[in-house]
Amino acid sequence: MLLPLPRSSVILQQILSGVDVEQPRSSCISELHEFDDCRYKVERLKEAPDVLTASFGHTNPLPAAAEAALRRQYEGISSLAFEAETNYQLTLHVSAQTLRGLPDARRAAVLDKLAAVRLYAVGAQLRQLLQALAAGELTSAPPQAVLARPGAPFFVRAEGEALTALFPIRQSEGREGALAAAFVQEFAGANRAASCGDAPRCIFTLPGQAPPFLLEDADLKACDCGGGFLAFVIEARHVAAPERVDAVAWSLLTFYAHIDVHVKRFKGLVHNQLRQRADAMLAVLERASFAAREQKTRKTSSGRIFIEQAAARTA
């Protein structure tokens, strides 16, 4: 089961919702980082309160399909400029007055779409393949790298009736890498349960075994695959509805983050259990030390000395 990581940046959505204020008292500039690889900058100047600019930047270069996908997604909502802001790859210009004039439900949907700019920018190439799969227009093609995370690409291959996403499982992070590899093996095993019958097929290959499709030597050198490979086979039925395309694309783009969350939660659980055990052992030692201090010696009339235990006196 994948964690429901929100595709729309919650913080960015809260910042964008500030358009409700018609005349801000001062200029507002907000910058934030997310996922350790993308950054946002939202500006609303006092001199031009009806213009809201939202800039987005990613550590990796955006795919070639990003510009056309973004213009299609934000048509009628905002104007789009690429590399208009230093250290950012694109900037959206939104009319605050137009947003305020929309019905509440429509405005919430527009703000949600604006806050999902990461999905439409970084996932443009992947969404394009999934849309072709849903329309029955996917043609077989060599594997392509998807740069969703710095230094950790995954690969997709179109096979006509299915799209296979291949994730190298990296072990370059020491113990966390070993935990990640163990988690992925359990994940692949759980995918074979009867309750996951409608889920995409999941294939795990151990290190040294051949993955579902072969990669070029340059791709193998670019990623550490010491933990093996995990592949998802996406079929047309998984992306039958338009909203399913975005859901599947986002799940694949954030799969490495999903692994990281589970590894950190597991470490937190183990640390908590160890702390509880240590506290229990310290309590036992403290009781033993207290009992030793409570010992008393007595001397009988015959001169014999014996030690009276505190537990015996209590009894």
Domain end (from 73, 95, 122): 122
The interaxial angle of helices 255-293 and 175-190, nearest 10 deg, is 110
Do 190 and 229 lie in one domain? The reply is yes
**Domain termination residue (choose one: 205, 229, 253):** 253
pTM of the model: 0.79
Q: Is 209 found in the same domain as 115?
A: no
Ranges of residues in the chain whose predicted pLDDT is under 50: 1, 218, 311-315
Buried b (16+ CB within 10 A) or exposed e, 122-156: bbbbbbbbbbbbbeeebeeeeebbbbbbeebbbbb
Tell me, yes or no, whether 70 and 167 share the same domain: no
CA 166, CA 223: separation in Å to the nearest integer? 12
Calpha distance 114→153 (Å, rounded): 25
Give the count of domains, the chain: 3
Q: How many angstroms separate the CA atoms of 256 and 270, rounded?
A: 21
Domain that holds residue 157: 137-253
Q: Which of 140, 126, 135 is nearest to 252 (CA)?
A: 126
pLDDT number for residue 190 = 74
